[in-house]
Amino acid sequence: MNDRHYDLAVIGGGSGGLTAAIMGARLGARVILIDKTTLGGDCLHYGCVPSKALIATARLAHRMRHADRWGLTAHEPTIDIQAVMARIASIQARVGEHDSPEALAEHGVEVAFGGARFLTAHRLAIGGGNEIDAAFVVIATGSHAMAPPIPGLKEAGFLDHRDVFSLTELPARFVVIGGGPIGCELGQAFSRLGSAVTLVQRNARIVPREDPDVSSALLDAFVREGIDVRCAANPVRVERVDQERRVIVEQDGAEVVVASDAILVATGRRATIRSLDLDAAGVAFDERGITVNERLATNQAHIFAVGDCNGGPQFTHWAEHEARIATRNALFKGSSKRDASLLPRVTFTDPEVASVGLSLEQAKAEHSDAHVHVAPFDKVDRAQCESLAEGFLKLVVDKKDRILGAHAIGPEAGELLAEIVLAMEHGIDLTQVGSAIHAYPTMTRATRRVADERFFEHGLDSWAARLFANF
């Protein structure tokens, strides 16, 4: 038995764990990072990186088909799905170089492979053998896909995000169950690559957490592209007949059969915590994940949990943000708190969906003077030059010009968020944002446009009054 003591043990080498381990080592702690398989986590292997790489290929295929929009001859691309997946694998290999054990060693982090489980509140077993002690522990074990209890689904066979990036054949007919960000991103990508996609969404709208106008603009775009979107549709059972998988969907009181060659389940992910033996450490958890306070500490003050495993928002940048807070709080007895109110969200569909902060409805509940300003992208020259002028930026502001929320759909909408998040974080109001010079012709001119509109609609009276007062 190899018995060793560490200042900080990090369990899980994904987005949250890598950040915690590197930060801990840079702060001078003796750190061990333990992963049961490989470093990089869902984001690198089955999430952000492969999905965005797939989306890039699918977008190009779509643009080739519609090249006449840009004054070129339209062309039907030949899709070799194995070549597409090989490109994705090579991108993963390049991105993963930063996450290798060698790269971690350079930061001063020791890496061990094997499933970690608690023996006591300070002692961990790694795989079948090694045991270590740690003064502090950060748990970052992520999440896994959750299949809905639809009768016949399991027997018929289905895919989740762990399977789709190793497909060797493109399903001719593909049913995607779930119309959240992952279902929408992958559904559109496979449709553009040539699958006939049916998206089955239980909610009345797709991306239901987003602004209703954003949801309906995305729905329109999907329908225009030929994706068969069924909203307010409940998959009640699945039947398998030879190679065909039939999803029986209840919609408007009637049952419809959607025939498919493959089913992708994208109905949510649940915290991966079962194998940790949290009871041995006396760490509290429930069906959502490990219970943490705002400092990300569990009920055991020296054990922290970050990222998907604590049941909070499931984003790489959120896992990283939480990891920084937890590591600081552990090693410096700090009291930094997480605050998701300024968490930016991007869904990488085309058009892209991006949002931060409050919806108008939420804002009105807190600020009676909250209202909305919109910049349609057909008024943004860059969007016109790109022939991508559909979409809009909607800003929710209060009477004092404070930005309370932003909701956008359109080309690279996610890129608009950085400036807005910075303004919200540091109390920079919309007029101040608008007074900064925004390079022409960038998409950020949309934000400038909203600021101008706001000024001329509501700011002019007081401005004019001050001007005339000088005469």
What CA–CA distance (Å, rounded) separates 459 from 322?
Answer: 39
In the complex, the smallest distance separating the C-beta of residue 321 from ligand FAD, rounded to whole angstroms, is 10
What CA–CA distance (Å, rounded) separates 400 from 431?
Answer: 10
Whether omega for the bond prior to residue 181 falls within 30 degrees of 0, making it cis, is no
Q: Which two tokens stand for residue 411?
A: 């080309």
In the complex, the smallest distance separating the C-beta of residue 114 from ligand FAD, rounded to whole angstroms, is 7
Identify which of 293, 304, 48 has the alpha carbon closest to the alpha carbon of residue 182.
48
- Residue whose CB is less far from ligand FAD, 326 or 397: 326
What CA–CA distance (Å, rounded) separates 451 from 87?
Answer: 42
- Residue whose CB is less far from ligand FAD, 275 or 435: 275
- Residue whose CB is less far from ligand FAD, 350 or 429: 350
Residue 66 CA to its chain's centroid (Å): 28
In the complex, the smallest distance separating the C-beta of residue 144 from ligand FAD, rounded to whole angstroms, is 8
In the complex, the smallest distance separating the C-beta of residue 54 from ligand FAD, rounded to whole angstroms, is 9
- Residue whose CB is less far from ligand FAD, 319 or 433: 319
* CB crowding 172-198: b at 16 or more within 10 Å, else e: ebbbbbbbbbbbbbbbbbbbbbbbbbb
Residue 109 CA to its chain's centroid (Å): 27
8-to-38, 108, 156, 393 alpha-carbon distances in Å: 19, 12, 45, 44
In the complex, the smallest distance separating the C-beta of residue 37 from ligand FAD, rounded to whole angstroms, is 5
- Residue whose CB is less far from ligand FAD, 167 or 248: 167
- Residue whose CB is less far from ligand FAD, 112 or 397: 112
CA atoms within 13 A on the CB side of 37: 8
In the complex, the smallest distance separating the C-beta of residue 173 from ligand FAD, rounded to whole angstroms, is 21
Catalog residues that contact ligand FAD under the rule CB under 6 A: 11-17, 34-37, 41-43, 46-48, 51, 115-116, 140-142, 161, 182, 272, 275-276, 307-309, 314-317, 319, 348
- Residue whose CB is less far from ligand FAD, 11 or 397: 11
Strand pairing category for 196-200 and 173-177: parallel
Residue nearest to ligand FAD according to CB distances in the complex = 14
In the complex, the smallest distance separating the C-beta of residue 326 from ligand FAD, rounded to whole angstroms, is 11
What CA–CA distance (Å, rounded) separates 445 from 389?
Answer: 13
- Residue whose CB is less far from ligand FAD, 271 or 370: 271
In the complex, the smallest distance separating the C-beta of residue 208 from ligand FAD, rounded to whole angstroms, is 17
Q: Which two tokens stand for residue 194?
A: 């040539």
